[in-house]
């Protein structure tokens, strides 16, 4: 059985990553290609709990290293539970954020000494490419602001 393919979509909050990943999954399905959609953080029961913890306003005092450790714990669980099994089954895995967001949010966005791993490898150690969708900043800010006004958690620090 052929190996699957791991594709990540990265970008600013409100840039349309989730919309585009869902459109891509539907497009692939119409053409007979099995795909699995996941996200970071989240995508597993454990990951969803980590996501809730990091997005919870009561967690505002998390130390940067703690936040980064939570993101890596979520990623390890997602790799073991979702990504590798799907790739081994020959499926396409579509992931809403992955390592690039971690580097931007928990690395460069928090403490510069935490980021900069420069990893450009997938879960199997193969070279990978991440292509962020083009996103004008004004509409992204407007969508992110509308989410906050509607009571959805602010993602200023969490989604990495």
| Domain chopping of the chain, boundaries | 5-149
| Tens-place pLDDT, residues 43-100 | 899 999 998 888 887 878 888 788 888 888 998 999 999 999 999 999 999 988 876 6
What are the contacts of 113-116 at 24+ separation with CB within 8 A? 114/64, 114/65, 114/68
Fold for the domain defined by 5-149: Rossmann fold (3.40.50)
| Tens-place pLDDT, residues 3-19 | 888 888 887 777 788 88
CA atoms of 34 and 108, how far apart (whole Å): 35
Answer whether 41's CB lies under 8 Å from 70's CB: yes
């Amino acid at each position: 059985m052929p190996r699957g393919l791991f594709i990540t979509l990265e970008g600013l909050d409100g840039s349309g990553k989730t919309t585009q990943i869902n459109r891509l999954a539907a497009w692939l399905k119409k053409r007979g290609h099995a795909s699995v959609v996941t996200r970071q953080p989240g995508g597993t029961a454990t990951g969803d709990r980590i996501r809730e913890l990091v997005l919870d306003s009561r967690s505002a005092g998390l130390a940067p290293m703690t936040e980064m450790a939570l993101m890596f714990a979520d990623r390890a669980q997602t790799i073991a539970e979702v990504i590798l099994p799907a790739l081994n089954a020959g499926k396409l895995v579509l992931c809403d954020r992955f390592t690039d967001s971690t580097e931007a949010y928990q690395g460069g966005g928090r403490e510069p000494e935490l980021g900069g791993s420069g990893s450009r490898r997938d879960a199997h150690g193969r070279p990978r490419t991440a292509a962020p969708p083009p996103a004008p900043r004004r509409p992204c800010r407007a969508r992110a602001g509308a989410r906050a006004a509607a009571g959805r958690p602010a993602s200023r620090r969490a989604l990495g």
